[in-house]
Amino acid sequence: MKKRGKGIACMVYPVGGTSYANPGSAFVKVNQDGTAVVLTGATDVGQGSTTVLAQIAAEELGIDYRAVTMICSDTERTPYDYGSVASRVTYIVGNAVKSAAGQAKRVLLEAAAEVLGVGHEGLETSDGWVRVKGFPERKMRVSEAAKRAIGVNGRPPTGSASFNPVTTLLDPETGHGKPYGSYVFATQVAEVEVDTETGEVRVLRIAAAHDCGKAINPMLAEGQVEGGICMGLGFALMEEMVLEQGRVKNDQFIDYMLPTVLDVPEIKVTIVEEREPTGPFGAKGIGEPSLLPTAPAILNAIYDAAGVRIRELPATPSKILAALKVGLARKDEG
Amino acid sequence: MTGFTVVGKRLPRYDGLLQVTGKATYGVDVSRPGMLHAKILRSPWPHAKVLRVDASAASRMPGVEAVVTAADVPRNRFGFTHLDQPVLADDKVRYRGDAMAAVAASTPDQAEEALQAIAVDYEPLPAVFDPLEAMKPEAPKLYGDSNVATRVTIQLGDLEAGWKEADEILEETFRTQMVEHCHLEPHAALAEVDERGVVTVYSSVQRPFLIASDLSSVLQVPMNRVRVVATAIGGGFGGKNELTMEPVACLLAMKTRKPVKVVYTREEEFQATTVRHPYILTYRSGLKKDGTIVARQVNIISDAGAYVSWGGWTLSKAAIHAAGPYNIPNIKIEGVLVYSNNSVGGAMRGFGVPQVAFAYECHTDTLAAAVGLDPVEFRLKNLLRDGGTMPTGQVLDRVTVIDTMRAAINAVDWKEVAGRP
C-alpha cells in the first residue's frame, strides 16, 4: 500500500565562522573608460560568489555588471580571504567589496563634483552615469569622471577594504558569548509517499522558504536551495559510507547511492528577504542552510505517512520495513 | 533602500559562458608540457606502528623521477586546533587513508607501479572503530592515554529547575551516518617552481589562503615564496578545506624542478579525504501540558576519525545550534569528540548542524505528538521570536523563522494530504 504524508522542519543558522576572526578583503580600481577591476581572495566553488561580488561592485559603483572584471583567489595577487566556507562570502566579502568600491566611487564623485558644480555628497551613480541627486539631467559619464580623476586630478580611483563580523569568544565554562554577527532562518515542508510493502520512499514535493537577507541574485539563491535539498535528500534516504575495519567498502558511485535526477522532487522555493543592516545591500547568506531542514522534513513526513519514526539515518527501505513490522506486531498484541 | 539597478537581478553567472563552453580551467584541467604525474601510497592498516619505509627500489623504476617519504617533510604536522595530522605517516598510521609516500613519474601508470615497489614494515596495533568503545578506558589509544580529543559544554538557565517545572519528560536517541562530499570534480593540484623560485600550486581548493599558510608551515618556506591559486572548482561542500595532495606535489616539484600533477581517484576521495562526522545524539526535553518546552538536555558524541581536522569547531557549531530555533529557558548541551581509526571527519556543508537539525526537528514532532498538537501549532508555540536567546546567551533580532514557516506551509497547503484516508 502506498501512503502519503507531510513533514515540516525549521532551522536557525549563522553567517560566518564561529567566534574567531574570519575577515575578507578586496581591492577595487576603476579604469579610464568606466570599467572596473575587483581583486579578492574569495573563491567561487560553483555557488556563484564571483557573480554576486561583481553585482555588489557594479551596484556600488553605478556601472554595468559586465563592466566589472573579477580577479579571485590567488594568494600572491589578491588580498586575503578566510575562504569559501561558513556561508560567509556574500555577507563578509560582499561588505569588503562594497566598501572598497565605495572608496573608488568617492574619488570619482569628487572629480565629477568639480564639473557638475555640487559637493560630492550631492551626487549619485547608476547605469554608468554620475548624476546630481534630484536633478538627473545634470550628469556626466562615470568614464569622464574616471578620466578626470586620473588625468587632471592625478588621483586614480581605487579602493581597498576589509570586513570582519563582530563576534566574541565563548566562555569555556558556560559556552556563552556572541559567536556570530548574523543569522538566517528557514523552513521546509516535504510531502512523501511510502510504499509499505517495499519500504521505499518517494519524495513528491518540497516547499522551502529561506531568509537570506536581500537576495543579490535570486536565481543563484534558488539554485543554492535546490542543490541543498538534493544533498539533504541523499542524507535522509540513501547516502552512507560503509566501513569495515576502517576500510570504505562502497568507494564507487555504483554502491554509494547519491540522488539522481529521478529522485529529485518538485521544489518550490520562496525567498524571505529580511534586510540585514550590517550586510551589503541587506544581504546575508544561503549556502549551507539550504540543506538543513530537508532530512528532518522528509523523516517527519515518513512518520506522518506510515507511522514509523526512523531515528538512524539514512532511512533506507529495510529500516522502514523493519519499523513497520514492529508496528504491526504491536497492533497484533493489542 | 530601493531602486537597485544590479542587485536583486537574475543576472547570468559571471563565469557561466566559460563553464558551458568547456573553457573553464578546473583543477583536473591544469596541464604543463613535460609535467610529471604523482601517486600516493596509502596505509593497508587502520592502526599500526611504522617500522621502516624503503623507497630505494621504487626510485629506480622506469619513468620515476622522485619519491618522497615522511623524512622529506620539513615539518610533518598540520591541523587547525590540534596539530595532529602528518603529511606522510611517520611513527604510526591511524587510518587506512594515511599517506605513506608519493612517487612522481612520467606517466600515472609508472607512478602507480612504483608505489608497489615501496617496502613498508608495519607492526599492526589493535584498532577501534566505534566512538562509544573508543571512550572506554581499555580501548586502544590513538594518542596518549585518552581518545577524547575535546569536549564542549553550553548551558543556559537552570536545567534542574526546568525538569521540576515540566509535566512530562521525553528522551530520544538519534544517529547519523558517515557521508562523503561527492563533489563531481576530485581533488586535483599541479605544483611548479616558477622562474622566480616561487613554489606555485594550482589546486581546486575552497580556502587558498589557509592552504598557503599551512604549506608554508609544512614546507618551511616563507609565505611570499609559496603561491596558491584556486582553479575553477567542480564542487567543494567543505571537502576542499585543508591540505591534501598539495604538500607532496610541492615537495616532488621542488625535488625534480618539474611541474607535478596529482589527481585523486574516486576511491581515494572516499578512503582518504574528509567525511561528515557521524553523530550519536540524545535529546531529553521537559514539556508543560500546554506544549511549552521548559528544559532541554542534549548529548552529542562525534566520531572524529583518526585526526581532529575541523572536528572541534564542527562540534562547537553543532552544540551552539543543538537546541534548534526554539525559545527554551533551561538548556544544557554537552558534546565530546572521540578519536577512532575511522575516516577523518572534516568540514561539510552545515558543519555539524545538519546532524543536530535532523535530531531536534524529529524530536520536535515527537514532543508535539505527546501533547496532541499539530506540528505547526506546536512550533508556533515554541519558535524563537525577536529578542529570543540562543543557548550561548546571544539575543537575536529580526528573527524570521515563523515568517519562513508561514511561507512554506502556504506553498503546499499543510493540512491537505492527497490520498490520505
Residue range of the domain that includes A286: 2-14+180-333
Give pLDDT, residue A327. 81
In a domain, A171, yes or no: no
Q: Is A172 contained in some domain?
A: no
CATH number of the CATH domain containing A61: 3.30.365.10
Confidence of residue B210 (pLDDT cuts 50, 70, 90): very high
**The domain boundary residue, chosen from A136, A163, A190:** A163
pLDDT tens column, A256-305: 999 999 999 999 999 999 999 999 999 999 999 999 999 999 999 999 99
Q: B414 touching A, CB under 8 A?
A: yes
Where does B13-97 have alpha helices with state H? 16-20, 56-59
pLDDT tens digits along B285-317? 999 999 999 999 999 999 999 999 999 999 999
- Judged by CB atoms closer than 8 Å, whether chains meet at B10 and A217 is answered as yes
Q: Is the Cβ of A173 closer than 8 Å to some Cβ of chain B?
A: yes
B209 and A235 in contact by Cβ < 8 A?
A: no
In 3D, which of B101, B107, B109, B92 has the Cα closest to residue B57?
A: B101
Q: What pLDDT score was predicted for residue B1? A: 44
Provide the 8-state DSSP code for A93: I
Let me know whether A33 and A99 are in one domain: yes
Q: What ipTM score was computed for the predicted complex, to two decimals? A: 0.97
- Given A163, A189, A220, the domain boundary residue is A163
Q: Is A249 found in the same domain as A295?
A: yes
The answer to whether B38 and B263 are in contact (CB under 8 A) is no
Identify whether residues A131 and A234 lie together within a single domain: no
Count how many domains chain A has: 2
> Are B382 and B285 within 8 A, CB to CB?
no
Q: Which residue of B has its CA nearest to A54?
A: B14
In chain A, which ranges are continuous DSSP H helix?
49-61, 94-116, 142-151, 218-237, 294-306, 317-333
Model's pTM, two decimal places? 0.97
- Average pLDDT of the segment spanning B326-342: 98
Instruction: Say whether A11 and B357 touch across the interface (CB within 8 A).
Output: yes
User: For A105-147, what is each residue's pLDDT tens digit?
Assistant: 999 999 999 999 999 999 999 999 999 999 999 999 999 999 9
Residue A106 lies in a domain: yes
Catalytic site residues of A? 288
d(CA A251, CA B292): 46
Neighbouring C-alpha atoms within 13 Å toward the C-beta of A317: 10
Same fold, B29-125+185-264 and B132-178+275-412: no
Class level of CATH domain B29-125+185-264:
alpha beta
Task: Please give the share of chain B, as a percent, with pLDDT higher than 90.
Answer: 97
Shortest CA distance to B234 belongs to which of B2, B25, B390, B26?
Answer: B26
Tell me which of A329 and A89 has the higher pLDDT: A89
Average confidence score pLDDT of chain A: 97
Q: Is the pLDDT of residue B217 over 90?
A: yes
- Residue where a domain terminates, one of A163, A198, A220: A163
Domain-wise residue ranges, chain B: 29-125+185-264, 132-178+275-412
Does position A252 have pLDDT exceeding 50, yes or no?
Answer: yes
Within a domain: A168? no
Are B209 and A48 an interchain contact pair (Cβ–Cβ within 8 Å)? no
Closest chain B residue to the Cα of A300, Cα to Cα: B362
Q: Cell numbers of B228, please?
A: 596558491
Statement to judge: residues A317 and A198 lie in one domain: yes
Q: What is the rounded CA–CA span in Å between residue B390 and residue A168? A: 14
Position A34 in a domain? yes
Residue A169 lies in a domain: no
Q: Please judge whether B209 and A11 are an interchain contact, meaning their C-beta atoms are less than 8 angstroms apart.
A: no
Please choose, from the candidates B190, B183, B207, B186, the residue with its C-alpha nearest in 3D space to the C-alpha of residue B310.
B207
| pLDDT confidence band for B421 (50 / 70 / 90) | very low
CATH entry 3.30.365.10 includes domain B132-178+275-412:
yes
Q: Can you tell me the mean pLDDT for A168-188? A: 96
**B150-171 average pLDDT score:** 98
8 Å CB contact between A292 and A285: no
The A residues from 248 to 287 touching B (CB cutoff 8 Å) are 248, 250-253, 256, 258, 268, 270, 272, 274-276, 281-282, 287
Give me the pLDDT at residue A333, please: 63
| Residue in chain B lying closest to A65 (CA) | B6
Residues in contact with A168: Cβ distance below 8 Å, sequence separation at least 6, in sequence order: A19, A177, A178, A179
Q: Is residue A225 included in any domain, yes or no?
A: yes
- Quick one: pLDDT band at residue B375, thresholds 50, 70, 90? very high
Residue A32 falls inside a structural domain? yes
Residue B116 DSSP code: H
The angle formed by the CA atoms of residues A19, B357 and A321, to the nearest 5 degrees, is: 155
Res B2: pLDDT: 59
